[in-house]
């Protein structure tokens, strides 16, 4: 059995958990307490395939091109004056680690000259607020393009 | 006209109020505050982060009696119930007898949280 989607999401959690000074890492945990921050959360992503645009008569279990866009949320509670640089540092580590992780790129998604997948950084959004100190969040999106092989599921 | 200071605020502050020290610049004054710290949630992309939003109520007449004008509380150090906080801002709440006889809600942050 090969489930590339699950392999990507599981590896993503491992990769983001290695970011320095991150206190906790979760997948699909949407309720974070202040003692758990800084926290990074991997949210299972929406997925689209080329099935709708495929006008060929190929058999239904032939491979599909799939694009998945999981969201990654970083939440920080710290001194208000320091939040900007803290969230920027986490963004930098996030992008660097995901786009350069060997297992994710070369074994799971299979990017590169002889692969047929791709990973792209799409962008990020930020939120700020007040709690007992300052609060900031960064949501980053990545696109994972891979081949779905129904016969291997 | 009902005297809300005598009939409402006096008994409430007698029961719920706690002593506090406000240090604003060179002046240090004793106040009575009501702790209004409440749970607070921030949500980003569907993920909730729960913490607290610290705050207190203070009576405007008490500020006036102690020589603290509106706005002078910004950045002041407020100590009560064993903790010290920095005042982020003050929202005047008013009263039926006018805002000068009402309350102000001070929003706080940890003294090391600026």
The dihedral of CA B51, B12, B21, B104: what is its sign? positive
Distances from the Cα of B19 to the Cα of A17, A60, A121, B15, B76, angstroms: 45, 74, 53, 12, 16
CA distance B58 to B12: 12
Look at residue A77 in the predicted model and tell me its pLDDT: 96
Angstrom distance (rounded) from CA A79 to CA A77: 7
- SS3 state of residue B90: strand
The pLDDT assigned to A13 comes to 98
DSSP A49: E
Q: Indicate the length of chain A as a whole number.
A: 153
Measured over the CA atoms of residue A95, residue A99, residue A103 and residue A104, the dihedral's sign is positive
Mean pLDDT of chain B: 94
**Three-state secondary structure call for residue A50:** coil
Q: Which residues of B touch A33 (CB under 8 A)?
A: 49-51
Cα separation of B111 and B114, whole Å? 7
Q: Is A132 on the interface with B (CB under 8 A)?
A: yes
Instruction: For tokens 């900031």, name the residue.
Output: A136
Predicted pLDDT at A111: 79
Question: What is A75-126 written as a DSSP string?
Answer: EEEE-GGGHHHHHHHHHHHHHHHHHH-HIIIIIIS--STT-S-EEEEEEEEE
Question: How near does any CA of chain B get to the CA of A150, in Å?
Answer: 31
Question: Is the distance from CB of B106 to CB of B87 less than 8 angstroms?
Answer: yes
- The per-residue pLDDT for range A103-145, each reduced to its tens digit, is 999 888 887 777 789 999 999 999 999 999 999 999 999 999 9
Nearest to B110 among A37, A75, A132 (CB): A132
Nearest CA in chain B to A71: B45
Which residue's entry shows tokens 């109020």? B17
Domains of chain B by range and CATH?
A: 4-110 (2.40.10)
pLDDT tens-digit map of A66-109 = 999 999 999 999 999 999 999 999 999 999 999 999 999 988 88
Q: Which of B45, B47, B109 sits opposite A130 (nearest CB)?
A: B109
Q: Please identify among residues 15-54 of chain A the ones whose CB lies closer than 8 Å to any CB of chain B.
A: 29-34, 37, 39, 41, 43
Residues B39-91 pLDDT 10s: 999 999 999 999 999 999 999 999 999 999 999 999 999 999 999 999 999 99
> CA–CA separation, B86 vs A130, rounded Å?
13
Tokens of B44: 């980003």
Token pair for residue A51?
A: 């099935």
Residue B101 Cα distances to B30, B43, B53, B78, B93, angstroms: 18, 36, 25, 21, 10
Domain ranges of chain A: 4-50+62-152
Q: Is the pLDDT of residue B93 over 60?
A: yes
Q: Are A84 and A92 in contact (CB under 8 A)?
A: no
* Exposed/middle/buried for residue A8 (C-beta within 10 Å: 0-12, 13-18, 19+): buried
Q: Is A134 in Cβ contact with B113 (below 8 Å)?
A: yes
Structure ipTM: 0.87
Q: Which CATH class is domain A4-50+62-152?
A: alpha beta
- Residue for token pair 């090391």: B112
């Amino acid at each position: 059995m090969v489930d590339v989607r699950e392999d990507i999401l599981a590896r993503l959690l491992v990769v983001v958990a290695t970011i320095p000074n991150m206190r906790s890492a979760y997948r699909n945990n949407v309720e974070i307490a202040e003692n758990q921050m800084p926290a990074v959360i991997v949210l299972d992503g929406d997925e689209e395939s080329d099935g709708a645009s495929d006008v060929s008569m190929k058999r239904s279990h032939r491979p599909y091109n799939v694009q998945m866009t999981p969201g990654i949320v970083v939440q920080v509670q710290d001194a208000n004056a320091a939040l900007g640089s803290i969230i920027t540092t986490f963004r930098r580590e996030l992008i660097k680690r995901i786009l350069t992780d060997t297992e994710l790129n070369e074994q799971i998604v299979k990017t590169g000259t002889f692969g047929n997948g791709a990973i792209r950084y799409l962008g990020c959004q930020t939120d700020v607020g007040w709690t007992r100190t300052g609060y900031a969040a960064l949501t980053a999106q990545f696109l994972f393009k891979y081949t779905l092989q129904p016969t291997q599921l | 006209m009902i005297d809300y200071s005598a009939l409402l605020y006096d008994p409430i502050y007698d029961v719920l109020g706690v002593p506090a020290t406000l240090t604003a610049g060179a002046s240090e004054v004793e106040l009575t505050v009501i702790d209004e710290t409440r749970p607070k949630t921030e949500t980003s992309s569907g993920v909730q982060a729960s913490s607290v939003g610290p705050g207190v109520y203070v009576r405007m007449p008490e500020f006036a009696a102690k020589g603290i004008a509106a706005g002078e509380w910004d950045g002041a150090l407020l100590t009560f119930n064993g903790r010290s906080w920095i005042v982020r801002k003050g929202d005047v709440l008013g009263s039926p007898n006018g805002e000068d006889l009402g309350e102000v809600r001070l929003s706080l942050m940890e003294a090391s949280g600026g």
